[in-house]
Amino acid sequence: MLKAYILLITNLENKCKIADYFAKLDNVVNVDMLCGPYDIVVEIILKTNDDLKERIEKNLTNIDNSMSTLTLIQSDDI
């Protein structure tokens, strides 16, 4: 299993709407709204890197008000 965190900078007017969108997606474990450089963090668990890439490409292109994203993949090798 692969755990990743997607950090989003969004349009503040749509922060709640975007968080709700991610919370409804399959494989999403947690969604938190933040104060700081990033507005939302999404925790997601998938089987492979390819699954993660496909999921991110599919779902992030559906968001009109996402200004920037960063994806962090948890490593069990540390």
Interval 49-59: pLDDT, tens = 888 888 888 77
Q: Is 51 exposed, middle or buried (0-12, 13-18, 19+ CB in 10 A)?
A: middle
Q: What mean pLDDT comes out for the span 69-74?
A: 89
Q: Is 20 exposed, middle or buried (0-12, 13-18, 19+ CB in 10 A)?
A: exposed
70 bridge partner residues: 7
Give me the residue spans of the domains in the chain.
2-65
Q: Indicate the pTM of the whole model.
A: 0.85
pLDDT of residue 64: 66
More confident residue, 64 or 35: 35
Q: How far apart, in whole angstroms, are the C-alpha atoms of residue 38 and residue 6?
A: 10
More confident residue, 68 or 66: 68
Mean pLDDT over each residue of the chain, to the nearest integer: 87
Please tell me the class of the 2-65 domain. alpha beta
